[in-house]
Structure 1
């Protein structure tokens, strides 16, 4: 999901509050533990900086191509919330229990599926900006309400005074209403008053050294991956990491001057090739040795909140021609996923990433029944996770979502305006690692070159350092008071992380409270138990003044925000 807005740089917008440690969430696609957190019982444990793990998981029956979710809790006593994990936006928000969409029956196509927050039931909630939260989405949906602060728990870390939006009016036009955790630069928040978002809260609270985290989505057939705040897990990728500078965008300062500024995760794809049945064909090659240009490259936003990769129509046509039995709507029999086809994308003229076709051809489910749709011939129906689109003057890049990110290990370094990339080592364990000697988890120190210091200079091909201005941290006097809680939120992994109501039809599971409980696969294929969609139509993505939520079905650009169709 991507937010577009007019932004200006205010003078003095800089804070370098730094600390130590690592915070880790395993990524899967949605867990709904109803276990009462120890924070509700007053059992806070002093925390040494190390790791914090959460399950982030893929609910494929709720959205086309799936979306990556994590669980947090909010309030005292804690209320479990499921949120989409989104590197393409910056705000944390939850759907209010009083929102009309959240009072509808669970069977309704626009109901709340990620849990709801009842602020009146929390003894620690405070409204900070009445009516200050206002988010709009690419399909015309909106979420509006207040900004407030409360205790937020992620993994086994409890943080006080965290600001977030409370969506008291949710107009979900095309799908289920679900909250969101934006992990982009706070500079790009949907608020007139920029505030510390989750990466910055973790820094200010002393949990991590700097605004840096690593994302590992894992193979398309795996339910869970990890996000590791403050460090890198060397077991989750192959080869060396290569660091690229993020590409800046021109914005206007408060004195009317236009400057180039880094505030989104935009990098350039400088080459693309396909390999089919052993034959490799170049689709395009930019010839840009620097990999740092919007010209003659494919600039892309690395966006975990989007499912598909949106490409120019000419490139879409070249690649789509290889997919067996692909129709004009981007649909095909699921057997097409078995074809001997792969794509190789080169990022920044330096990092080749290979994506197998099985990550690009995914099943389509009926969102109301969780039953996989079929072709007219009675075969299981799938959709192709590339989508044709075009850059425009206001957005000179396209969105690269989970279909490609699953094949990548990505280190998002907000402080230094860089990302570091490598081929993902899929199907590896997602259990939490410790920072002890010999562990695969390496804590990254603050400052330029921190990754090389953590891993050794020979294990990182580093850029010299981004010479453009980088969106800084928000200066704040808030006390985020970090504590460790004995019972972590959202620790389930694999199929155990998938709630019963989101499980593919034909699976069994037992509810564990919260938003539906867990499920285990029984008699479903690996692909069909891991993929999903909600409707068999294409929907164009429109972009407004607020957050742009590319909610698209069947090969669409984006998923996430408050809604997943």
Structure 2
């Protein structure tokens, strides 16, 4: 989840002696979030069920806050850094309200929730709750949603790992009916953006887990598994070598270009290739190398418009001016085409994402909308997993992250990436042995290309040799015309001119 503002420099990390691992499992949501607590497997590993909430657009963990413990289900977010919980007294929790499930610009719509169905926090019922910042917690997201209230400390438990005096935000004034577990850089905390001071950060969850001896260094790994998977995993303090295939490549996190500090998990994206049975295309943009944020709190992925337009043309996506989103027929999930993302230059990791991860349902059953006219008339409409932004931050969200095993090393400012092993049933957890240790089994990429976001120069347009394969392999007539197309009852007229997209 990308918050509106980040600031500052440096990293506030404390040392700890013991090498340990905290593990949380990720499980697909069926009807209601799975609130069942799993037992501790061994002294140094803790396991927690985290649900894949498709309609809400994210991955959620059930936690406990306060004394006695109150259970809440919160979204796991590598793109922000605060834990915050909705107050039971907030208006969004006391009456029906829109779900707010589109944070980060996702555009996901999940209808209405009857209050805070994933839980809320009643501060009056916790004997260990202490307000440490009255009316100074404030966070907002790029789609305009927000949460405001107090900073407080209290007991916090996740996956059997118990921490005391954890700093959290209390959403008293919020339009989001569930909270977040932000695990990003401390300098990305909301209080830093608010105070504009590098001295403001507090010890957020991964830092405090290290200080309390649960993990040896400030690092964790993420395995979301595929879109329909029933299990997945996040490991604090370790890497599971059975959850990925091939070599683990390690690339540098890039400093924020505006602050000159490490505030987000920005890596350098240097290539994108479309592959299908009919051919391959190297997709081009003047903006290579592109700074992209690896953000688990964002459902979709957002690329520069110049690049996104080429992706849409490969798959025959349709742009709707009303929703400002690109859509495809749901049958495209059967396409044999893939998009290969490259990072840090020719020696860096390459992650392939197939169409099963990029075609997302927007409704179920009889509520699924259909194309009203055009070449897709009568076919079900699905949201496409790659959308566009016109400026930074560019984001690689869950539609990308499911295809990669990603290690976030906040101590060394590095990211490990490898091809995910979908639905792996094996496990081999290797803990980081000490504070500042390198990523286990990882190999640092040589001669890395840094992200600049403005390389300039001219680019050649692809031949779209892969386009036919993407569409015909899905049983769709590959006759997409960039002209007048009706989408969900709204007519969109647009044209390609040079390498840009212009709306009329």
- Which of the five TM-score ranges fits, normalised by the shorter chain? 0.7 to 0.9
- 90, 104, 110: which one pairs with 2:81? 90
When structure 1 is superposed on structure 2, of 200-209 and 382-391 the one drifting more is 382-391
1:136-186 Cα distance to aligned partner (Å, 9 max, x none): 22232221111111111101111111110111111x2xxx52100111011
Q: Is the 8 A contact 2:82 2:169 kept in 1?
A: yes
Assess if the C-alpha contact under 8 Å between 1:36 and 1:78 holds in 2: no
For 2:300 and 2:66, the matched residues in 1 are separated by: 34
Pair 1:37–1:318, CA change in 2 (3 A): closer
Provide closer, same or farther for how the CA distance between residues 37 and 300 of structure 1 changes in structure 2, counting only shifts above 3 A: closer
- Which residue of 2 is the match for residue 23 of structure 1? 22
Q: TM-score, normalised by structure 2?
A: 0.76
After TM superposition, give the deviation of residue 19 of structure 1 in Å: 3.4
Residues 114 and 301 of structure 1, relative CA distance in 2, 3 Å threshold: same
SS of equivalent to 2:216: coil
What are the superposed Cα offsets for residues 423-444 of structure 1, whole Å, 9 maximum, x if unpaired? 00012238xx5xxxxxx11111
Once residues 202 and 447 of structure 2 are traced to their aligned partners in structure 1, the CA distance between those partners, rounded to angstroms, is 26
Aligned to 2:246: 239
Q: Specify the SS of the correspondent of 1:450.
A: coil
Counterpart mapping for 1:205-220 below 5 A: 205-220=212-227
Q: 1:361 aligns with which of 359, 362, 372?
A: 359
**Among 258, 282, 292, the residue aligned to 1:300:** 292
Moved more, 333-342 or 418-427: 333-342
Alignment of 1:320 with 2:312, yes or no, is: yes
CA change 1:49–1:244 in 2 (3 A) is farther
Q: Which runs of 5+ in 2 are unaligned?
A: 100-111, 451-487, 491-504
Q: Work out which of the residue numbers 65, 80, 94 in structure 2 matches 1:74.
A: 65
Q: Aligned match of 1:443 in 414, 431, 446?
A: 431
Shift of 1:235: 1.0
Is 1:331 aligned to 2:327, yes or no?
yes
1:273 aligns with 2:269: no
User: Match of 2:496?
Assistant: none
User: Larger RCO: Structure 1 or Structure 2 (Cα < 8 Å, ≥ 6 residues apart)?
Assistant: 1
Judged with a 3 Å threshold, the aligned counterparts in structure 2 of structure 1 residues 231 and 279 are, in CA distance, closer, same or farther, namely same
Distance verdict in 2 for CA 1:32–1:121, change over 3 Å = farther
Q: CA RMSD in A?
A: 3.1
TM-score, length-normalised on structure 1? 0.69
- DSSP 3-state at the match of 1:102: helix
Residue-by-residue CA offset, 1:402-441 (whole Å, 9 max, x unaligned): 10111000000000000000000012238xx5xxxxxx11
Q: Which has the higher strand share?
A: 2
In 2, Cα distance between the equivalents of 1:107 and 1:306?
18
Contact 1:200 1:211 in 2 (8 A): yes
State the alpha-carbon separation in 2 of the partners of residues 190 and 99 from structure 1: 19
- Aligned CA distance change for structure 1 residues 33 and 407 (closer, same or farther; 3 Å): closer
Deviates most, 295-304 or 236-245: 295-304
Matches within 5 A, 1:425-440: 425-429=421-425, 440=428
Q: 1:53 aligns with which of 43, 47, 54?
A: 47
Could you say if the C-alpha distance between residues 537 and 48 of structure 1 is closer, same or farther in structure 2, counting changes exceeding 3 Å? farther
Which deviates more from structure 2 when the two are superposed, residues 419-428 or residues 309-318? 309-318
Counterpart residue number, 2:134: 130
Cα pair distance change 1:33/1:313, threshold 3 Å: closer
Match of 1:228 among 232, 235, 240: 235
The aligned residue for residue 342 of structure 1 is 338
Question: 2:414 & 2:489 partners in 1: Cα distance?
Answer: 37
Deviation at 1:248, TM superposition (A): 1.2
Give the direction of change, closer, same or farther, for the CA distance of 1:382–1:246 in structure 2 (3 Å limit): same
Give the deviation of 1:285 after TM superposition: 8.1
CA contact (8 A) 1:353 1:408 kept: yes
Aligned to 1:309: 301
Measure the CA separation in 2 of the matches of 1:145 and 1:48.
38
CA contact (8 A) 2:15 2:210 kept: no
The Cα shift of 1:84 comes to 1.0
Aligned length: 421
- Which whole-Å CA distance do the structure 1 matches of 2:85 and 2:397 have between them? 23
